[in-house]
Structure formats: C-alpha cells, structure tokens
Amino acid sequence: NAGVTQTPKFQVLKTGQSMTLQCAQDMNHNSMYWYRQDPGMGLRLIYYSASEGTTDKGEVPNGYNVSRLNKREFSLRLESAAPSQTSVYFCASSYSGTNRPRNQPQHFGDGTRLSIL
Amino acid sequence: QKEVEQDPGPLSVPEGAIVSLNCTYSNSAFQYFMWYRQYSRKGPELLMYTYSSGNKEDGRFTAQVDKSSKYISLFIRDSQPSDSATYLCAMSVAGGYGQNFVFGPGTRLSVLP
C-alpha cells in the first residue's frame, strides 16, 4: 500500500538550476497539494489541485510551477532555483467527493529534501 | 500573532507518563481539527481528526477541542519510546478542499525509556 510517493528523496542544486519534483498517489484521491516545511514555520502551501485539470496558488507560490498530469500525479517545478528555496517539500492528497464532507484530512508523502547552493 | 501557535519543545518525559500537547489559535471560524505525528525524515501521519468541539479517543490518544478558549489538546496515555516524534496540529474553516488548512510548527516529543 504505497499511498503518496515522492521522488527524489534528496537533491542538491546550484543557484539558477531547474528541477521537477514528482508526486504520485494510489488512493484515488481527487485533491493534491504541495507544501514546504521550514524550521519553526509549519507547513506552508505552495500550490494545490482541487481536482484533475485544475491548479491554484497557495500561500507561497512565487518561484514555483505545478502540473497536474492526471488524477494520480502532481509535479512541482523550480524554474530557477534560489537558496531561499532550500527546504523539505511534501506532497499530500485528500479525498474530495460529494459523499463526504469537505476538509477531509490530507495524507502525506515522505518528502524531498532540497538544498540549493 | 501567528494564526496557530504551538510550543516547539522539546518535551522530554519518562516512559509511561501522560503527555499533553497543545495548540492555540486565533481564528474563531476554524471547525476542523487534526493532529499529525511526524517521525524524523518522514512525512506527517494523521493521528486524529475531529469536527467542532468535544473529545475523541483512539486507543492511547485523546483529542480535545475547546472552541470557546480557542485551544486544542492531544493527550497520550502510557507513553512509549516509539511515540518520540514531532506532533503537528492543523485546523481549517469549513468549505474548500483542504487548501485552507493551517498547520502549527510542531512540538518535538522525546519519551525516555
């Protein structure tokens, strides 16, 4: 039972390089999310996708882009990495359907640790 | 003032102790409350999910919500070394698909054998 799978687990980039973080879920969830976690700050939402075909900005979207490739996959791209983007990135998913109340809890992957030099 | 506040710890307790973890919040519109456990180098794992006020119990874990005081708690009975982790609270207003969840920064707990 994989749940939410993120790749890669670790990555070191130089300033200005680009990369894509991958996320896939096998729980048939509609909604998917990208967060960053920094010491003392809690999880902050970067982008989310309420359903396949839609994406929206969260609290801290600057410097990032996302693609909801299909119902299972949601990727996060850094076009030109900056040291301020050094963080741990988490992907999450949740169910959002008509037969359950909204605000269903999110299920998280194990994160990608990204360092930008 | 942050929307959700949580003592970062670390909180160290002996094995078998009752642990109390707390969060305070400022937005009276929050209605959904969650507790997550996060082991080192792992993602948050859902422990408890409650709606509105009251208590919810699951095994050794009890979640309490006091909306009048804007205060939520997680109690762990008979704590074990395997409970050593960071505990995050999260909460949201009604509506939306989870994009309005607000997470606390977490409390680091160590249970000493």
Which tens digit of pLDDT belongs to each residue from A31-57?
999 999 998 888 999 999 988 889 999
At residue A50, the pLDDT reads 86
Which of A56, A90, A102 lies at the smallest CB-CB distance from B43? A90
Give the pLDDT confidence score for residue A102 in this predicted structure: 62
Give the sign of the dihedral formed by CA A101, CA B37, CA A28, CA A92.
positive
pLDDT score of B7: 87
Mutation target for A interface from B56, B58, B99: give the one with most A CBs within 10 A. Answer: B99
For chain A, say whether B103 makes contact (Cβ under 8 Å): yes
Residue A101, pLDDT > 60, answer no
Averaged pLDDT score across all residues of chain A = 92
Instruction: Select the residue of A33, A41, A103 nearest B105 (Cβ to Cβ).
Output: A41
Q: Is pLDDT above 70 for A88?
A: yes
What pLDDT was estimated at residue A97? 63
Q: Determine the Cα–Cα distance for residues B105 and B6; give it in Å rounded to an integer.
A: 6
Contact A43 B4 (CB under 8 A): no
At B104, is the pLDDT very low, low, confident or very high (cuts 50, 70, 90)?
A: very high
Q: How confident is the model at residue A64 (pLDDT cuts 50, 70, 90)?
A: very high
Contact yes or no for A6/A112 (Cβ under 8 A): yes
| Number of CB atoms found within 10 A of residue B6's CB | 22
Test A106 with B104 for CB contact under 8 angstroms.
Answer: no
Min distance B40 CA to chain A CA atoms (Å): 10
